[in-house]
Structure 1
Amino acid sequence: MSSRGLPGFLRRSRRWNDFEDEDDDAADNEADNDNKGDEKEDLDQDANQRQCQELSGSNEPSHLLNASLQFLQPSAPTGPSTGDIAPSNNNSISSSSKDHPNEDQTPADDITDKQTDDQSLSTIGDYDPTTGENLSFRSMTAPPSTSVGRSSSKVGYRELQFEKLLSHNVVKLSELRKIGWNGIPCQYRGMVWKILLGYLPANASRRQQTLERKRAEYKEAIRQHYDIDDDSRTLQEQETLRQVLVDVPRTAPDVPLFRNEKIKRSLARLLYTWAMRHPASSYVQGINDLATPLFAVFLADDYEGEDVQDGSVMVVLSEERLDEVEADVYWCLTNILAGIQDHYTADQPGVQRMVMRLQELVNRIDGGLCDHIDSVGIQFMQFAFKWMNCLLLREFNLQCVIRLWDTYISEENGNGFEDFHIYVCAAFLCQFSSQLQEMQFDELFQFMQAVPTEDWGETEIEMLLSQAYVLSTLFGGSDAHLTSHGRQPLGPLM
């Protein structure tokens, strides 16, 4: 299929043409020098790359393109199957393996792939501008229960892209966002997150100095706000500390890392310190969840992802290194919260605004689902509030959240945690449209309190991101999603 066969917006999209022209032979030669025994993998990778080029018209591969094409054209033959498919492991941080074809696929894998294709549904093809509905969302089913395991340690094409870009004296942030949107390899994730979140400068010569200064500043803030006698705290400060100490043990209960006493202490210190330094926002339950991906990723800079999440790393982790990670988490969390500050002020107007926008968007793309939810007496605020307050951290395992955040952090203008998050929530809700419309109040309410995503892996998250991107392309930057043909708008944006 040539690029002419794709919808116009995909041909124009930065997502599907998000890599600059590079010399493929040079990249292959560099990989061969480091991995002389990997010639067969390089050949397979080149084949996969050429297939992506043919589909997208781009000179470089994008593994989300394959996922999006499967979503947009379910009846078409699928591309190369994902590599290293493994049972779901909630205690691992996996990087995507979709760039590598599975050389050992069995007939059973073919059957599984076909079943997956049958469950895929087209979005663009079923969009009806006359009626104002996207009909495919009405019949979407939950994605197949497939989880991608940790990718091979062998250096691949995407790893070389990140290595080359990060080796520059001054990193081009726009290029880093482009390649980061599709997922970031584990070994580069910590550095990329710190740069894109504005914690580390793009200029490599200034990074060490910045780290030392910011870590020293955080250490001083701990001395001023946390390491003091309780008698020196006001009643409000004592209440804030009490709430933090109540929430910390509840944080990520399924991840052994966050049951470690040292991690609990670090989490409590940084949350309380953040609250004291941001009195206009103060601490709100849910902020504690937002620190968990940062801890896992920054600890993984030194250790394998599996060792991080299962907590075994704490046996060998030095106090000095933990203090450094704690400071890094504090500053990156501060920068994330700065972009969604009104989510955590009095009455949380930012969260309420996002819930309203979600309801308006779902009303536009799947009016039947929106009507059914309303008819059984459930309000969006009852289930979507925590989606906005905790940014879906309680809906997915940590592996999935980290992959989701790769894209959020790579979104332009820092809008990933607000604007794009709304489209992700809409795509997520509409995944289960047909099931939800068969439920009454009790069953639907219980379903929304614990959406069955325990078997989700990076494959499902990347499909969700593809669907969210389609929605953002259709409705982003316009008021089209605020009204439906034949419907009254649910209310203006706040």
Structure 2
Amino acid sequence: MRPLKDAQLGAFTFFASALPHDVCGSNGLPLTPNSIKILGRFQILKTITHPRLCQYVDISRGKHERLIVVAEHFESSLSDFQKQGKTASPETVLQIAYEVLEGLEFMNKHGMVHRALSAHNVLMDCKGNVKLAKFGLYHMTDHGADVDFPIGYPSYLAPEVIAQGSFHPSDSSHDAAPLPSGPKTDVWSLGVLLFELCAVRILHKHLHTGIRYFSFSGCMDDIVTVLAEEHGCLDTIKILYIKIHFNGTLRVCRYFAVMTFMFLSSRPTPAQLLGDPVFSGISCFYTPFQKPVSLFSSSLRCAHLELPEDISDLCKDYLSERAIDEVYHLWCLAGGDLEKELTNKEIIQSKPPICTLPNFVLEDGESFGQGRDRSFLLDDTTVTLPLCQLRNRLKDVAGEAYYPLLEDEQSSLPQSNSSNELSATVTLPLIIRERDTEYQLIRIILFDRLLKAYPYKKNLVWKEARVDIPPLVRGLAWAALLGIEGDIQAKYESIDKDTPIPTDRQIEVDIPRCHQYDELLSSPQGHIKFRRVLKAWVVSHPDLVYWQGLDSLCAPFLYLNFNNEALAYACMSAFIPKYLYNFFLKDNSHVIQEYLTVFSQMIAFHDPELSNHLNEIGFIPDLYAIPWFLTMFTHVFPLHKIFHLWDTLLLGNSSFPFCIGVAILQQLRDRLLANGFNECILLFSDLPEIDIERCVRESINLFCWTPKSATYRQHAQPPKAAGDNGFGKAATYYSSDYQDMAKTDLSREPLALCDLKAEVSPRISAEDLIDLCELSLAGPTKRTKAGRPKIIAVDIRSVEDFSRGHISGSINIPFSTAFSPDGELVQCPTSGILQNYRGRVIVIISHPMKSAAMFAAHLVKVNFPRVCILDGGINRLKPTGLLTVPSPQI
């Protein structure tokens, strides 16, 4: 959106038509309230940006179908100009006409008409340029079908509109709404506006000059007479003299009267009027409007970059240089309340419940009760939202904060009088940070600059996303984290989303059940966009199929990019291969089973006690975790929790969802340990409240404790170029995906599903073991708080084999001392030295692998955490030359 500049934020309110409560739609579901329909249609208006149109910002839905619209606003209007009694020069009339037509033509290109054009809806900025207000009211109300009041003002409506009569959606006598108005309707309204602007004032002026005669010829006599009578100047017209024809202003008025007050078939459109020779002398002063280039396109974003004429002007009011939607977002954080502002201006008037009782009728037909509440009628008064509270809240923010230097290697938080306070804010819970006005201003500005420099500043976007992502820029930030680039709009438009396919029926069934508590996604526009994005994904991935749950995956991306279906589709198409590779195959059983088996091993690795209990009662992940991973938790959490969860998920690799699943189980740990199978089933049928911030924090900790190769899956995404996607220097080793690493002789080998299921503990690769040991000796970043290494290698071969060569620092607990040749436990291996290493990552090294699996399974059974097995055993390490042979004692 464009900067606020000298504009203000304005709000106006109206009511949508109420629907009967006992009527359902054709699908058997309750009818969608008209207010939600309007809310869905409104969203596209936020994308319509033009110098002649007031920018729409937001819409809020209240009680009893009340809607409050926030938009760019200016105090001065054409109505004020008329009230001042000023005479408009021909040049001024032409300028106003041209600028209004510019706005109307731009609307027509987007398939919209104003229909509510009037003097008080033609606003003027500080430079006297036209800004059309309330131009979207006709569109958002479905041409007036969703409200009980007419769109437009009778004195400005074209004859064909008045001839259709009024239409009330609640009136059962009308079978259908009248046909929508076209662009020519606004041309008539413009003619009336110009007639008011120049002709009427001049006629009043000449009334005092003694001029006695004036007439128009042809059918224009009757039209102008009707208009003059409407505006109370019929007598003036009759006494004017013909020489007024020589007045330039009236010639302009007469021209527009001829052009605009024609019959509908002959009346020109705004585009045709703009090309008329009458504007040849003024059009050269206007630069054609060029829509700003979007972040993801093939065009050069800086091609039309312009510096301000006087940079010193930027230092006067930093807030006015920010985007309108950004200012409104900060206004809400600073305590702004739309209903309160409208109530203070008596636009919203509350009544006691006793005064709102409905009518009732007696047997004799006598009715009692209140009449029609006039507060439900349209009051188009726009209330200016005061920004003083916001400016006062941001008064301590230094000017440098509005223009951060991206190349500065110091802290991203700019130096200001409140820098210490901002530094302290970073440590507060995320929910508090997202409501802190000053902190959000700093973060929004920083992300705005980084995203404008994307992909050049992609690494910095990753770095700042580790701290948090401002809600206002979350959609673009996610796209950057997913690596979206190129002309996504052209690719999306090239996909056939209209031809019927077999999946259409299932999509139609799933959409009305997907996150329908959200007003935006439950609107008809939301359903249409849902359908298009899902169908585009299905059509563009012929090797995959639609599975239930794909709609839930689409929901977060569609919500954040509601007005950019192409970006929602691109994000979804990049997200699925990274985290859900081959999950949507026609036969995905082998992929799902491998995924659930690895998840079971992760539970045993991090929480063996819980794993043992769940296995004993038969509560396996197949019973509860499939919806978790198939939808990446979007099926079990509301959107506001998914946003916080995915902010971190997108920074991790494809193994991070395992850690999220374990973190969820650990929050429910006490209840799971205390219950049996039936109770656990009931518990997960209605999942209790989950603390998402705690879940994210614990997931990161689990992620950093998990060796890369422990979550290896042969059905994961094939190797690709790895990027920086970790959680900081302390977790650099764990940041990249094991699947992305080049395979060597030390890499982990694929394992058959039956063999994978037979092992309780995960396997790690030899290169993983070597890297972990080297990192643990390199510095304190890989050590525990006590300074001990995080990993210990336990070699369970015989003493003789151990003495022939072993990993440096490993300990030897021969398998034969703990288990008999038949596999029976002889002596618990945890009673000795191994007890001192509880809590570290324990790597079991042996040959053959069956002995290592049995040894690891026993450690898990006695609740030893972080137990894993070296894939390939000691034989995998022999070619490396890293085995240590002890020196013979003399």
Alignment-derived partner of residue 570 in structure 2: 331
The offset of 1:487, in angstroms, is: 3.6
Please name the residue that 1:447 is paired with.
683
Q: 1:423 to 1:169 in 2, by over 3 A?
A: closer
Letter in 2 for 1:448: F
Tell me how far apart the structure 2 counterparts of residues 44 and 350 of structure 1 sit (CA, whole Å).
55
**1:199–1:331 contact (8 Å) kept in structure 2:** yes
Q: 1:151 to 1:288 in 2, by over 3 A?
A: farther
Please list, as runs of the form range in 1=range in 2, the aligned pairs for 1:159-198 lying within 5 A after superposition: 159-168=444-453, 170-198=455-483
From the superposition, tell whether residues 437 and 265 of structure 1 become closer, same or farther in structure 2 (CA, over 3 Å): same
- Aligned counterpart, 1:38: 394
Moved over 6 A (4+): 41-44, 488-493
The aligned counterpart of 1:23 is: none
Q: 1:364 to 1:261 in 2, by over 3 A?
A: same
Match of 2:583 in 1: 343
The equivalent residue for 1:399 is 640
Q: Is the 8 A contact 2:608 2:860 kept in 1?
A: no
Are residues 169 and 278 of structure 1, via their aligned partners in 2, closer, same or farther at CA, if it must alter by over 3 Å?
Answer: closer
Q: How does 1:294-313 map to 2 (within 5 A)?
A: 294-299=557-562
Q: For residues 410 and 474 of structure 1, do their structure 2 counterparts lie closer, same or farther at Cα, with a shift above 3 Å needed?
A: closer
2:491 to 217, 238, 245: 217
Distance of 1:393 and 1:338 partners within structure 2: 17
Q: Give runs of aligned pairs for residues 169-318 of structure 1, distance below 5 A.
A: 170-200=455-485, 210=487, 214-222=488-496, 226-228=497-499, 230=500, 237-238=501-502, 240-299=503-562
Q: Is the 8 A contact 1:275 1:282 kept in 2?
A: yes
> What is the alpha-carbon distance in structure 1 between the residues aligned to residue 441 and residue 674 of structure 2?
45
Aligned to 1:372: 613
CA shift for structure 1 position 36: 6.7
Q: Deviations over 1:79-121 (max 9, x none)?
A: xx65xxxxxxxxxxxxx4544xxxxxxxxxxxxxxxxxxxxxx
Q: CA deviation at 1:290?
A: 0.7
CA contact (8 A) 1:360 1:490 kept: no
- Give the superposition deviation at 1:298: 1.5
- Structure 1 gap ranges (5+): 1-29, 52-60, 67-80, 83-95, 100-148, 202-209, 231-236, 300-321
Q: Hey, what's the Cα distance between the residues in 2 that align with 1:272 and 1:241?
A: 8
Q: Which has the larger radius of gyration?
A: 2
Q: CA deviation at 1:404?
A: 1.4
**Aligned pair 1:426/2:799, yes or no?**
no
**Root-mean-square deviation (CA), in Å?**
3.3
Instruction: Single out whichever of 285-294 and 272-281 deviates more from structure 2.
Output: 272-281
CA contact (8 A) 2:397 2:438 kept: no
Deviates more, 1:165-174 or 1:257-266: 165-174
The change in CA–CA distance for 1:151 and 1:476 in structure 2 (over 3 A counts) is: farther
Structure 1 residues 50 and 267: CA distance shift in structure 2, 3 A: closer
Distance apart, 1:196 and its partner CA? 2.3
Query: In the alignment, is residue 479 of structure 1 matched against residue 479 of structure 2?
Result: no
Q: Deviation at 1:360?
A: 0.8
Matched, 1:468 2:699: yes
Relative distance call for 1:40 and 1:220 in structure 2 (3 A) is closer
Distance 1:400 1:492 in 2: 37
Q: Which protein is richer in helix relative to its size?
A: 1
What code does the residue aligned with 1:261 have? P
Task: Rate the CA distance shift 1:265–1:491 in 2: closer, same or farther, 3 A.
Answer: farther
C-alpha deviation, 1:490, in angstroms: 10
CA gap 1:485/1:175 in 2 versus in 1, 3 angstroms: farther
Contact 1:424–1:464 (CA under 8 A) maintained in structure 2: yes
Contact residue 403 and residue 461 of structure 1 kept, 8 A: yes
Aligned to 2:625: 384
State the Cα deviation string for residues 249-270 of structure 1 (Å, max 9, x = none). Answer: 2211322322222221221222
- What TM-score, normalized by structure 1, do the two folds share? 0.58
Cα distance, 1:158 vs structure 2:
2.4
TM superposition shift of 1:286: 0.6
Q: Which has the higher contact order (CA 8 A, sep 6+)?
A: 1
1:61-72 aligned at under 5 Å gives the runs: 63=426, 66=427
Q: CA shift at 1:40, angstroms?
A: 5.7
Q: Deviations over 1:113-168 (max 9, x none)?
A: xxxxxxxxxxxxxxxxxxxxxxxxxxxxxxxxxxxx75538753323332342343
1:216 Cα offset (Å): 3.2
Distance in 1, matches of 2:461 and 2:482, equals 12
Structure with the higher fraction of residues in strand conformation: 2
Indicate the SS of the match to 2:456. Answer: coil
**More moved, 423-432 vs 187-196:** 187-196
Taking structure 1 as reference, are residues 37 and 347 closer, same or farther at Cα in structure 2, changes over 3 Å only?
A: closer
Measure the CA separation in 2 of the matches of 1:279 and 1:421: 26
TM-aligned CA distance change 1:154 to 1:477, over 3 Å: closer
2:454, 2:480 within 8 Å by CA — same for their partners in 1?
no
Q: Letter of the 1:342 partner, please give it.
A: N
- Residues 156 and 475 from structure 1, CA distance in 2 versus in 1: closer, same or farther, beyond 3 angstroms? same
Q: TM-score, normalised by structure 2?
A: 0.33
Secondary structure of 1:391's partner? coil
Identify if the C-alpha distance between structure 1 residues 353 and 177 changes in structure 2 by more than 3 Å, giving closer, same or farther: farther
Q: Which letter does structure 2 place at the counterpart of 1:270?
A: V
Q: 1:294 to 1:379 in 2, by over 3 A?
A: same
Q: Does the 8 Å CA contact 1:436/1:444 hold for their aligned counterparts?
A: yes
AA paired with 2:581?
Q
- Shift of the 492–448 alpha-carbon distance from structure 1 to 2, 3 Å rule, reads farther
Change (3 A) 1:259 1:163: closer
State how many pairs are aligned: 321
The amino acid across from 2:512 in the alignment is P
Instruction: Indicate the SS of the match to 1:166.
Output: helix
**CA-CA distance at 1:45 after TM superposition:** 5.2
Alignment partners' CA distance in 2, 1:285 and 1:155: 37
Q: 1:335 to 1:170 in 2, by over 3 A?
A: closer
- Point out where structure 2 has 5 or more consecutive residues left out of the alignment: 1-314, 320-390, 399-415, 712-760, 763-855, 862-866, 872-890
Contact 2:461 2:480 in 1 (8 A): no
AA of the residue aligned to 2:646:
W
Deviation at 1:471, TM superposition (A): 0.8
Offset of residue 376 of structure 1? 1.8
CA distance in 1, matches of 2:660, 2:615: 21
Q: What residue in structure 2 maps to residue 357 of structure 1?
A: 598
Secondary structure of the 1:280 match is: coil
Please say if residues 251 and 288 of structure 1, whose CA atoms lie closer than 8 Å, have aligned partners that are also in contact.
yes
Identity %: 21
**Alpha-carbon distance between aligned partners in 1 of 2:667 and 2:513, rounded to the nearest angstrom:** 29
Change (3 A) 1:387 1:252: same
